Amino acid sequence: MTSKDRILARIRRALPEAPRSPSEAAPAGNIGDIGDIPRDYLHVHGDRTPAESADLLAAHLSEYRAKVHRTDGAGLPALLARLLAARGARTVLVPPALPAHWLAAAGAALVQDRAESTPYELDAVDSVVTGCALAVAETGTIVLDGGPDQGRRRITLIPDHHVCVVRVPDQLVDSVPQALARLDPTRPLTWISGPSATSDIELDRVEGVHGPRTLEVVLVSAQ
Protein backbone atom coordinates (compact mmCIF):
# COMPACT_ATOMS: atom_id res chain seq x y z
CA MET A 1 0.00 0.00 0.00
CA THR A 2 1.38 3.37 -1.00
CA SER A 3 1.15 6.59 1.03
CA LYS A 4 -1.58 7.76 -1.36
CA ASP A 5 -3.59 4.57 -0.72
CA ARG A 6 -3.32 5.09 3.04
CA ILE A 7 -4.51 8.71 2.81
CA LEU A 8 -7.49 7.81 0.62
CA ALA A 9 -8.38 4.92 2.92
CA ARG A 10 -8.45 7.26 5.92
CA ILE A 11 -10.73 9.65 4.03
CA ARG A 12 -13.11 6.78 3.19
CA ARG A 13 -13.25 5.70 6.82
CA ALA A 14 -13.92 9.27 8.01
CA LEU A 15 -16.84 9.94 5.68
CA PRO A 16 -20.23 8.20 5.43
CA GLU A 17 -20.43 5.87 2.45
CA ALA A 18 -23.38 5.78 0.08
CA PRO A 19 -24.93 2.36 -0.66
CA ARG A 20 -22.99 0.60 -3.42
CA SER A 21 -23.55 -2.65 -5.26
CA PRO A 22 -20.59 -5.01 -5.85
CA SER A 23 -20.57 -4.08 -9.54
CA GLU A 24 -20.15 -0.41 -8.64
CA ALA A 25 -16.91 -0.72 -6.73
CA ALA A 26 -14.79 2.41 -6.85
CA PRO A 27 -11.65 2.19 -9.01
CA ALA A 28 -8.43 1.61 -7.13
CA GLY A 29 -6.89 4.87 -5.95
CA ASN A 30 -10.17 6.84 -6.01
CA ILE A 31 -12.34 7.88 -3.10
CA GLY A 32 -15.47 6.91 -5.02
CA ASP A 33 -19.06 7.82 -4.21
CA ILE A 34 -19.00 8.65 -0.51
CA GLY A 35 -22.44 10.21 -0.23
CA ASP A 36 -23.33 13.58 1.21
CA ILE A 37 -20.65 15.17 3.37
CA PRO A 38 -22.08 16.59 6.63
CA ARG A 39 -21.86 20.38 6.70
CA ASP A 40 -23.25 20.98 10.17
CA TYR A 41 -20.47 23.38 11.19
CA LEU A 42 -21.18 26.99 12.11
CA HIS A 43 -21.72 29.16 9.06
CA VAL A 44 -21.11 32.37 10.98
CA HIS A 45 -19.65 33.17 14.39
CA GLY A 46 -21.99 35.54 16.22
CA ASP A 47 -24.68 38.01 15.22
CA ARG A 48 -23.59 41.39 13.87
CA THR A 49 -25.18 44.46 12.46
CA PRO A 50 -23.92 45.60 9.04
CA ALA A 51 -21.96 48.36 10.77
CA GLU A 52 -20.31 45.86 13.13
CA SER A 53 -19.39 43.61 10.19
CA ALA A 54 -17.79 46.56 8.41
CA ASP A 55 -15.83 47.44 11.56
CA LEU A 56 -14.62 43.83 11.87
CA LEU A 57 -13.51 43.76 8.24
CA ALA A 58 -11.63 47.04 8.68
CA ALA A 59 -9.94 45.78 11.85
CA HIS A 60 -8.70 42.58 10.23
CA LEU A 61 -7.53 44.35 7.09
CA SER A 62 -5.55 46.78 9.23
CA GLU A 63 -3.97 43.87 11.12
CA TYR A 64 -2.78 42.54 7.78
CA ARG A 65 -1.20 45.95 7.05
CA ALA A 66 -3.74 47.00 4.46
CA LYS A 67 -4.78 50.66 4.54
CA VAL A 68 -8.51 51.10 5.09
CA HIS A 69 -10.53 54.17 4.12
CA ARG A 70 -14.24 54.93 4.40
CA THR A 71 -16.50 57.16 2.37
CA ASP A 72 -19.87 57.26 0.64
CA GLY A 73 -20.64 57.19 -3.07
CA ALA A 74 -20.49 60.96 -3.43
CA GLY A 75 -17.09 61.18 -1.75
CA LEU A 76 -15.47 58.25 -3.59
CA PRO A 77 -14.01 60.15 -6.60
CA ALA A 78 -12.32 62.74 -4.40
CA LEU A 79 -10.96 60.08 -2.04
CA LEU A 80 -9.51 58.00 -4.89
CA ALA A 81 -7.92 61.13 -6.34
CA ARG A 82 -6.27 61.89 -2.97
CA LEU A 83 -4.98 58.33 -2.56
CA LEU A 84 -3.46 58.28 -6.02
CA ALA A 85 -1.95 61.74 -5.59
CA ALA A 86 -0.44 60.76 -2.24
CA ARG A 87 1.09 57.74 -3.92
CA GLY A 88 2.47 59.93 -6.69
CA ALA A 89 0.72 57.77 -9.28
CA ARG A 90 1.07 59.14 -12.80
CA THR A 91 -0.54 56.10 -14.47
CA VAL A 92 -3.46 53.99 -13.23
CA LEU A 93 -4.49 50.64 -14.66
CA VAL A 94 -8.28 50.25 -14.92
CA PRO A 95 -10.48 47.21 -15.66
CA PRO A 96 -12.80 47.44 -18.69
CA ALA A 97 -15.98 48.26 -16.77
CA LEU A 98 -14.71 50.31 -13.84
CA PRO A 99 -17.32 53.05 -13.31
CA ALA A 100 -15.98 56.12 -15.11
CA HIS A 101 -16.94 58.56 -12.36
CA TRP A 102 -14.73 56.76 -9.80
CA LEU A 103 -11.60 58.27 -11.35
CA ALA A 104 -13.15 61.43 -12.77
CA ALA A 105 -11.19 63.59 -10.31
CA ALA A 106 -7.89 61.73 -10.63
CA GLY A 107 -5.04 63.53 -12.35
CA ALA A 108 -3.28 60.33 -13.45
CA ALA A 109 -3.38 58.89 -16.96
CA LEU A 110 -5.70 55.89 -17.24
CA VAL A 111 -4.24 52.72 -18.73
CA GLN A 112 -6.76 50.21 -20.09
CA ASP A 113 -6.40 46.50 -19.36
CA ARG A 114 -5.42 44.87 -22.68
CA ALA A 115 -4.87 41.19 -23.42
CA GLU A 116 -1.66 41.98 -25.28
CA SER A 117 -0.10 43.92 -22.39
CA THR A 118 3.18 42.35 -21.29
CA PRO A 119 4.21 41.85 -17.65
CA TYR A 120 6.85 44.56 -18.17
CA GLU A 121 4.19 47.04 -19.31
CA LEU A 122 1.97 46.21 -16.33
CA ASP A 123 4.93 46.54 -13.98
CA ALA A 124 5.54 50.06 -15.27
CA VAL A 125 2.05 51.19 -14.18
CA ASP A 126 2.03 53.02 -10.85
CA SER A 127 -1.35 51.88 -9.46
CA VAL A 128 -4.41 49.77 -10.21
CA VAL A 129 -7.97 50.53 -9.08
CA THR A 130 -10.62 47.80 -9.04
CA GLY A 131 -13.90 46.76 -7.54
CA CYS A 132 -14.37 43.35 -5.94
CA ALA A 133 -16.76 40.39 -5.88
CA LEU A 134 -17.21 40.56 -2.10
CA ALA A 135 -15.38 40.85 1.23
CA VAL A 136 -15.35 38.55 4.29
CA ALA A 137 -15.50 40.27 7.67
CA GLU A 138 -14.35 37.38 9.89
CA THR A 139 -11.15 36.81 7.92
CA GLY A 140 -10.45 40.29 6.56
CA THR A 141 -10.45 38.93 3.02
CA ILE A 142 -11.23 40.58 -0.32
CA VAL A 143 -12.39 38.23 -3.09
CA LEU A 144 -11.95 39.02 -6.78
CA ASP A 145 -13.63 36.92 -9.47
CA GLY A 146 -12.42 38.60 -12.66
CA GLY A 147 -15.65 40.56 -13.10
CA PRO A 148 -15.79 43.55 -15.48
CA ASP A 149 -14.94 46.04 -12.73
CA GLN A 150 -11.99 43.88 -11.57
CA GLY A 151 -10.28 42.75 -14.74
CA ARG A 152 -7.95 39.83 -15.16
CA ARG A 153 -6.08 38.43 -12.20
CA ARG A 154 -2.67 39.59 -13.40
CA ILE A 155 -3.55 43.29 -13.23
CA THR A 156 -3.94 43.00 -9.44
CA LEU A 157 -0.71 41.04 -9.01
CA ILE A 158 1.90 42.95 -11.01
CA PRO A 159 1.41 46.66 -10.18
CA ASP A 160 2.87 47.57 -6.78
CA HIS A 161 -0.15 49.55 -5.54
CA HIS A 162 -3.72 48.19 -5.54
CA VAL A 163 -6.76 50.24 -4.51
CA CYS A 164 -9.82 48.04 -4.09
CA VAL A 165 -13.34 49.42 -3.62
CA VAL A 166 -15.87 47.46 -1.54
CA ARG A 167 -19.53 48.46 -1.42
CA VAL A 168 -20.93 47.94 2.07
CA PRO A 169 -23.12 46.29 3.06
CA ASP A 170 -23.99 44.89 -0.40
CA GLN A 171 -20.63 43.21 -0.99
CA LEU A 172 -19.90 42.31 2.63
CA VAL A 173 -20.51 38.90 4.23
CA ASP A 174 -19.54 37.73 7.69
CA SER A 175 -17.95 34.35 6.98
CA VAL A 176 -16.25 32.17 4.39
CA PRO A 177 -19.24 29.75 4.14
CA GLN A 178 -21.47 32.72 3.35
CA ALA A 179 -18.97 33.89 0.74
CA LEU A 180 -18.81 30.49 -0.94
CA ALA A 181 -22.59 30.40 -1.21
CA ARG A 182 -22.52 33.66 -3.19
CA LEU A 183 -19.49 33.00 -5.40
CA ASP A 184 -19.42 31.17 -8.72
CA PRO A 185 -16.83 28.36 -8.36
CA THR A 186 -16.25 28.29 -12.12
CA ARG A 187 -14.83 31.83 -12.08
CA PRO A 188 -11.14 32.63 -11.39
CA LEU A 189 -11.32 33.49 -7.68
CA THR A 190 -8.52 35.42 -5.99
CA TRP A 191 -8.63 35.71 -2.18
CA ILE A 192 -6.65 38.63 -0.78
CA SER A 193 -5.90 39.24 2.90
CA GLY A 194 -3.62 42.27 3.03
CA PRO A 195 -0.69 43.15 0.76
CA SER A 196 1.61 40.48 -0.62
CA ALA A 197 3.97 39.22 2.09
CA THR A 198 6.35 36.35 2.73
CA SER A 199 8.93 35.45 5.37
CA ASP A 200 12.20 33.57 5.25
CA ILE A 201 13.39 30.98 7.75
CA GLU A 202 14.41 33.75 10.16
CA LEU A 203 10.89 35.26 9.92
CA ASP A 204 12.08 38.40 8.19
CA ARG A 205 8.96 39.76 6.50
CA VAL A 206 9.24 40.90 2.87
CA GLU A 207 6.31 42.56 1.13
CA GLY A 208 5.61 42.83 -2.58
CA VAL A 209 7.17 39.57 -3.76
CA HIS A 210 4.00 37.82 -4.94
CA GLY A 211 1.76 40.82 -5.56
CA PRO A 212 1.19 44.46 -4.59
CA ARG A 213 3.39 45.84 -1.84
CA THR A 214 0.59 48.24 -0.85
CA LEU A 215 -3.11 47.38 -0.63
CA GLU A 216 -5.62 50.13 0.07
CA VAL A 217 -9.26 49.16 0.64
CA VAL A 218 -12.04 51.74 0.35
CA LEU A 219 -15.30 50.84 2.10
CA VAL A 220 -18.07 52.73 0.35
CA SER A 221 -21.31 52.96 2.33
CA ALA A 222 -24.69 53.03 0.64
CA GLN A 223 -25.72 56.11 2.63
C-alpha to C-alpha distance for 61 and 94, rounded to whole angstroms: 23
- Which amino acid does the sequence have at 42? L
State residue 55's pLDDT score: 97
State residue 91's pLDDT score: 97
State residue 205's pLDDT score: 67
State residue 88's pLDDT score: 96
Burial 57-92 (b: 16+ CB within 10 A, else e): bbebbeebebebbebeeeebbebbbebbeebebeeb
Mention every residue, 6+ apart, whose C-beta is less than 8 A from residue 191: 141, 142, 143
Predicted TM-score (pTM) of this structure: 0.80
Positions of the chain with pLDDT under 70: 16-37, 197, 199-200, 202-203, 205-210, 223
State residue 34's pLDDT score: 47
